[in-house]
Amino acid sequence: MRPANSILILKAINKLPDKKKGIYMLSILIAAVILIFDFAISVWNAYSSGYNIGMLRKIGKGGFSKAAAYSGLGLAFAGITYVLIVVLSMVAYALQYVGIGAVEYALGFDFLVFGLMIIGFGLMVTIQSIIVAAHRKSFGSIGIAIWNTFAEVFDIASYAESFRASVSMLKSDKEERANAYVIILVALLIGYLITHAAYKHGIKKALGSASIR
């Protein structure tokens, strides 16, 4: 679920009678499942990117394949951080550490910045998967190329649809922006550590027990 929709649901829950809250709680539960799935896929992308980069080092291959592998790593970092900002914002608000203005700003920033990064890095990964599918012509490679293409088109459409709403979220209470920046910085730090750990694991798997700098 996109951040703009998440914040609207959060506001709606606070305004609705108790008997109607269950419907919105179900929506948040579905959103949580999607976030967990996105997080797991992003961690896997970091690992597989590390493995692919390690294999490319082994055979001494560079060019577009190497650029696509590093794009996969960037996509992983953006995806992990995107999810973390959403989760940290919601948790901080639920625990009353921050106000709704901080959550709005953090989610709007998250969608506009990391959503765009996901689209950009995802485009490189999608092109690479299409090239691989055209070369291998296997069921698996074709399926991955189709999925990547669908995901890229969906992300672009979602970004265009929610762009204005997300920009308006950046106009929230200025007093809360400092708290939003703290959430974003914490998410960036945790996102980097997780991405780096998964990447290292992947590249070591490809290169064996050799020391990786």
Is residue 183 within 8 Å of residue 89, measured between CB atoms?
yes
**Residue in this structure with the two tokens 């910045």, named with its chain if needed:** 113
What DSSP character marks residue 1? -
Give per-residue pLDDT as tens, 79-131. 999 999 999 998 999 898 998 889 889 999 999 999 999 999 999 999 989 99
Position 181 scores a pLDDT of 95
Position 25 scores a pLDDT of 65
Is residue 56 within 8 Å of residue 67, measured between CB atoms?
no
Q: Which of the residue ranges 56-65, 69-78, 152-161 has the most confident prediction, judged by mean pLDDT? A: 69-78
Is residue 183 within 8 Å of residue 121, measured between CB atoms?
no
d(CA 4, CA 22) in angstroms, rounded, equals 20
Position 84 scores a pLDDT of 95
Is residue 208 within 8 Å of residue 54, measured between CB atoms?
no
Position 72 scores a pLDDT of 93
Position 21 scores a pLDDT of 53
pLDDT category of residue 11 using cuts at 50, 70 and 90: very low
Q: Which candidate, 85, 77, 75, 99, places its Cα nearest to that of 35?
A: 85
Q: Which candidate, 171, 167, 158, 172, places its Cα nearest to that of 2?
A: 158
C-alpha torsion angle, residues 73, 183, 190, 116 (rounded to 10): 0
Q: pTM for the whole thing? A: 0.83
16-33: b or e for each residue (b if 16 or more CB lie within 10 Å)? Answer: eeeeeeeebeebeeebee
Average pLDDT, the chain: 83
* Tokens coding 12: 């709606």
User: Is the predicted pLDDT of residue 23 greater than 70, yes or no?
Assistant: no
